[in-house]
Amino acid sequence: MKLLRFGPSGAEKPGLLDAQGQIRDLSGVVDDIAGDVLSADGLAKIAAIDPATLPLAPAGSRYGPCVGRVGKFICIGLNYADHAAESGLPVPDEPVLFMKATSAIVGPNDEVLKPRGSTKLDWEVELGLVIGKKASYVSEAEALDYVAGFCTINDVSERNFQTERGGTWDKGKGCDTFGPTGPWMVTRDEVPDPQQLDLWLEVDGHRYQNGNTRTMVFGVAQLVAYLSRCMSLQPGDVISTGTPPGVGLGIKPNPIYRKPGQTMRLGIAGLGEQLQRTVSAG
């Protein structure tokens, strides 16, 4: 299934994408794509419904973030060896963790705001995964049982804030609109191997990122198991698993950063595409 949320920002309704690519309204069945709805039982309840019996969403409905009420937005840094190299950093021996503020989460096609004082606004296409049930000290062998589904994420980054102004990476990662998520969450049963997904990103039609999740340093199952030893993972937590090479920071000899008016287009095979225009926060 492809589960999503649609409608105005802050008032999204739950929905699913039918076989014809139409949004069907799930609000008469569940209150949101969140919490217990992401459990095996919750997803089975939705899967048992004939989409044709659900009302269609209004034409032209906005796609919101595909998951609601996200508790934690956990990110993995330097999780592709070639991205670590372009960043001038060693390949990590253990996953590098940081958090994005949940207030950074926006819809897949919403505008991305260039913050005041921003000088190095960058892009990062990433595979996202959504936790479906509480995970604490789980093994790698059972880790995927705790994943409800997968989605596309743009880990928007302000490199000056991130690396040149002291403190942790978080300050360059959690600005408003820095977490476009969606357009939908594809349930785990429809992603046979999350380590065989092509992902890409373009700015103004120029392809900068081309990668595949098979080149991750730490795979999805490793990450879920590892994180579950650092903190309990709860239904609706989102994990962004790192980006392949081709970010603006890594372009040599002169890095390229985003400007207002530019458009990003990105996607992951089978998980949908995003399209965002960059605008000044004022």
The sign of the dihedral angle between the CA atoms of 55, 60, 66, 67 is negative
Query: Would 199 be classed as within a structural domain?
Result: yes
Identify the CATH number of the domain in which residue 210 sits. Answer: 3.90.850.10
Q: What is the pLDDT of residue 91?
A: 86
Query: Would 69 be classed as within a structural domain?
Result: yes
Q: Is the distance from CB of 180 to CB of 214 less than 8 angstroms?
A: no
Residue 282 in this model has a pLDDT that exceeds 90: no
pLDDT tens digits, residue range 236-281?
999 999 999 999 999 989 999 999 999 999 999 999 999 999 999 9
Q: Which residue range is the domain that position 177 belongs to? A: 65-280
pTM, two decimals, is: 0.96
Q: What is the mean pLDDT of residues 85-107?
A: 92
Query: Would 143 be classed as within a structural domain?
Result: yes
Q: Which is nearest to 69 in space by CA: 24, 41, 42, 31? A: 31
DSSP notation for 140-177: TTTGGGGEEEEEEEE--EEHHHHHSSSS-GGGGT-STT
Query: Would 174 be classed as within a structural domain?
Result: yes
pLDDT tens digits, residue range 138-193?
999 999 999 999 999 999 999 999 988 887 889 999 999 999 999 999 999 999 99
Q: Could you give the number of structural domains in the chain?
A: 1
